[in-house]
Amino acid sequence: MFGKTDVSAPLFVVAALVCFLIGGLMTTVVPPLVDASWSRPFKNDDPSKGPTGVLRPYTEIELKGRAIYVREGCWYCHTQQTRTILADTVRSGWRGVNAPISTPDEFVYDSPHLFGTKRTGPDLSHVGGKYDVQWHRTHFRNPRDLVPGSVMPPFPWIANNEPEFQALVAYIQTLGRAKDWRPDHDYEQ
């Protein structure tokens, strides 16, 4: 079949598309059909099966904050996934408690997805509730005031714009909170 493709353009086109579409369909259309967890929001009431909790949809202000996170390209430097690597669960943890690994059912309301590819700054998949509003305000104004050595850019136009700042912080506080994994619930404030 392939022997004739270099003299017949139509035959070539068919062969090239068939080769491509086999893998293309197998890796894009089939997986979500096989794995229901990709589209079922997280919900667990049974502590013996791991952390309990429920994934709720974003509120209006959280979605607004999420749009700011996208607009400013935060996702170029911060991933949102605690991988199946021990060090990831420790680094995403809090006060000696390791974070649970990220699972597909925690992200079904995310569009665009913000898993990220590069960690110039720390992973944010479980950052929700760790730092209060005042910390974030100072940090966005100039990250180096709180974290000497940081290379994060300053974001004064967000820190000084109260509605945008409140929205962005509201979004950040949601991260990783579908699963109730922390010992003291200080993130409520």
Partner 1 sequence: MTGKENPSPMTVPAAAPPVHSDTAAKWFILSSIAYFFIVGIIAVTIAAKFVWPELLGTIPAFSYGRLRPLHVNGMLFGWLLAADMGLVYYIVPRLCGVRLWSEKLGVATAVLWNVIILGAVVSLLAGWNQGWEYAELPMPLDVLVVVAWIMFGANIFATIASRKYAQMYVTLWYIMGTILWTAFVYLTGNFAVLFTTGVNQANLNWMYVHNAVGLIFTPVGLALAYYFIPKAGEVPLHSHKLSMIGFWSLAFVYVWTGAHHMIHGPISQWLQTIAIVFSVMLLIPVWTVVYNFIATMKGQWPQMRDNVPLKFLMSGVVFYLLTCFQGPMHSLRSVNAIVSKTDWIPGHAHMAVLGAFSFFAIAGVYYVIPRMFRRGLSSEPMATWSYWLMMVGGLGFFVTLWLGGFWQGWQWNNPSIPFIDTVVALKPVWTVRFFSGVLIFLGIVLFAYNIMATAVGASEKRTGAAAAV
Stretch 24-63 residues interacting with partner 1 (CB under 8 A): 24, 26-28, 31-32, 34-35, 38-39
Beta bridge partners of 172: none
Cβ proximity to partner 1, 46 vs 87, nearer residue? 87
In the list 62, 65, 74, 169, the residue contacting partner 1 (rule: CB under 8 A) is 74
Phi, psi angle pair for 106, to nearest 5°: -85, -5
- Which letter does DSSP use for residue 188 in this model? G
Phi, psi angle pair for 176, to nearest 5°: 80, 10
In the list 20, 54, 135, 163, the residue contacting partner 1 (rule: CB under 8 A) is 20
**CA-to-CA dists, residue 72 to 79, 158, 168, angstroms:** 14, 10, 11
Which residue shows structure tokens 């974290």? 147
Which range touches partner 1 (CB under 8 A), out of 13-21, 126-134, 163-171, 172-180?
A: 13-21
Question: Is the link from the previous residue into 112 a cis peptide, with omega within 30 of 0?
Answer: yes
Q: Are 127 and 136 in contact (CB under 8 A)?
A: no
Q: How far is the CB of 188 from partner 1 (least distance, A)?
A: 25
Nearest Cα to Cα of residue 137 among 163, 122, 123, 158: 158
Binding mask 129-168 for partner 1 (x = CB under 8 A): --------------xx--xxxxxxxxxxx-----------
In the list 13, 54, 97, 133, the residue contacting partner 1 (rule: CB under 8 A) is 13
Q: How far is Cα 175 from Cα 180, in angstroms, rounded to an integer? A: 12
Query: Residue 75, interface with partner 1 (CB under 8 A)?
Result: yes
Structure tokens at 4: 């004739």
Judged by CB under 8 A, how many residues of this single chain contact partner 1?
77
Q: Are 52 and 182 in contact (CB under 8 A)?
A: no
Positions in 107-126 near partner 1 (CB under 8 A)? 107-122
Cβ proximity to partner 1, 12 vs 187, nearer residue? 12
Q: How far is the CB of 93 from partner 1 (least distance, A)?
A: 9
In the list 87, 96, 134, 188, the residue contacting partner 1 (rule: CB under 8 A) is 87
Cβ proximity to partner 1, 51 vs 121, nearer residue? 121
Query: Residue 169, interface with partner 1 (CB under 8 A)?
Result: no
